[in-house]
Structure 1
Amino acid sequence: MTAQLDVTEHGRVLVLTMNRPEARNAMSLQLAEEISAALETLDARDDLSVAVITGAGSTFCAGMDLKGFARGEIPVVEGKGFAGLVKAPPRKPLIAAVEGYALAGGFEIVLACDLVVASRTANFGLPEVKRGLSAAAGGLLRLQHRIPYHLAMELVLTGRMWPATDAAAVHLVNRLAEPGEALTEALKLAEEVAGNAPLALAASKRVLVDSVDWPLAEKFDRQEQHVDPVRRSADAKEGAAAFVEKRAPQWTGH
């Protein structure tokens, strides 16, 4: 069986390329399972700090593979949801590098990522209402927390295309790139992230994500559960030593 996901390593950065350009990288069950496995590798390996997910060709991801759906195939991985990702993203940072269209489930993959780099000509959208459906892969759960409520509601209820330049204006997109350069720019951002301590990155991400609904009186105590092990880690000692010795730190993930 030919792989539908290309996985490469760039130092501490894992790059996942959805490789179904003939189908605009529409999500199949096989592709979802391969993404799930790659992200398990990301979280399991101490020598990897961050991942970038992108699409081959001129499209990020057009959503669910409707031909597969017609055959009774649903691209959902148990416990991880659509694309093996949206219900349970990795504990380490994940960056979307978007060219062309990120529509329906494709946009929901983007919303499950921690950082977004997009081509100036890219477009996002949740067009499910135009097809008699609702966005069920996290779009309705995440979008209003990423952008202003009324804008999120407009995008959901109209199903219209949303240019990446407009998304950048409200900070859903971290960095804009020239057409064809989204992955290059995403790798620059990923390398900047990967230069930092991996345990600290994962713990910081978790606190940012989980603390939204923590009771106010418990926030600092709950935070401590995640940041105290980082404070006691070998990497924390290495970070301090590297600062004193005026050298680049050598992270081990311990």
Structure 2
Amino acid sequence: MTEVRTERTGSALLITIDRPQVRNAVNAAVATALSAALDELEASPELRVGVLTGAGGSFSAGMDLKAAMRGESPVVDERGLGGLTEAELTKPLIAAVEGFALGGGFELALACDLIVAAEDARFGLPEVKRGLIAGAGGVVRLPHRIPHHLAMELLLTGEPIDGRRAGELGLANRVVSNGDAVAVALRLAERIAVNAPLALAAVKAVVRSGDPWAAQRTANARLMTTEDVREGMTAFAERRAPRWTGR
């Protein structure tokens, strides 16, 4: 589907929302195609990390309101907006944000594990200006990512912040020059991809668990029985890079 492009770059899958004429707003076609791209990431053992971005200098302006008024839904069942905001992915996903990440676009970025932001990127949840709330994860996730009162300011005013401010608040892992977000995100993906895939999946599972201490104990016990943990210890002792099998 042309609304979302995928490109394999080493162990990373670069996923690009490609509707630049509407600042990559999410309609039904984008949601279906993005969900399929995430399936590709999850299914391929050669892929370790995903990078999500938008074409034409914008990440995403959020839900396509004109399409929604025509009756289109940008939601995929059990996966949320764009097939992402409620998806439980096992592999890390990095948002590479240039330009606008507004409304649902910001919520797509918040659904990722890391964010790389261009200096002049614009993050905002303007739903209250339209009589709505940021109901695709914005009101749920944002207060857990930044201090409560700062999150409430963004949610209640609907006013955006730029990439530099996102970095100051701890929303962005890296703040980079305009045009460099994808390149930096792919380098960050390479640093993640050298680690054990089962361990990466376990980190994500524990972090999103409702009972993280129990999940942590279960994850550690399971990992200790894997070939990868033995390989990791052997590689350390032999002073070489590990050769992960995902088993």
In the other structure, the counterpart of 2:231 is: 238
Give the Cα separation in 1 of the matches to 2:214 and 2:144.
24
Q: Please list the CA deviations of residues 97-124 of structure 1 after superposition, one character each: whole Å capped at 9, or x if unmatched.
A: 0000100000000111110000011110
In the other structure, the counterpart of 2:163 is: 164
Q: What RMSD in Å do the two structures reach over aligned CA positions?
A: 1.2
1:248 is displaced (CA, Å) by 1.3
AA aligned opposite 1:248? A
1:128 is displaced (CA, Å) by 0.7
Aligned CA distance change for structure 1 residues 229 and 68 (closer, same or farther; 3 Å) = same
AA aligned opposite 1:45? S
Q: 1:247 aligns with which of 230, 235, 240?
A: 240
Alpha carbons 2:205, 2:215 under 8 Å: kept: no
Q: How does 1:5-24 map to 2 (within 5 A)?
A: 5-24=4-23
Structure 2 residue ranges without an equivalent (≥5): none
Secondary structure (helix, strand or coil) at the match of 1:137 reads coil
Determine whether 1:117 maps to 2:100: no
Q: How does 1:46-195 map to 2 (within 5 A)?
A: 46-195=45-194
In the other structure, the counterpart of 1:228 is: 221
In the other structure, the counterpart of 2:26 is: 27
1:96 is displaced (CA, Å) by 0.3
1:179 is displaced (CA, Å) by 0.4
TM (norm. structure 2) is: 0.96
1:220 is displaced (CA, Å) by 3.9
AA aligned opposite 1:104? G
1:156 is displaced (CA, Å) by 0.6
Secondary structure (helix, strand or coil) at the match of 1:184 reads helix
Give the Cα separation in 2 of the matches to 1:196 and 1:180.
28
AA aligned opposite 1:133? L
AA aligned opposite 1:74? S
Alpha carbons 1:47, 1:252 under 8 Å: kept: no
Give the Cα separation in 2 of the matches to 1:221 and 1:69.
41
Give the Cα separation in 1 of the matches to 2:115 and 2:69.
31
Q: Number of paired residues?
A: 247
1:76 is displaced (CA, Å) by 0.5
1:66 is displaced (CA, Å) by 1.5
1:25 is displaced (CA, Å) by 0.3
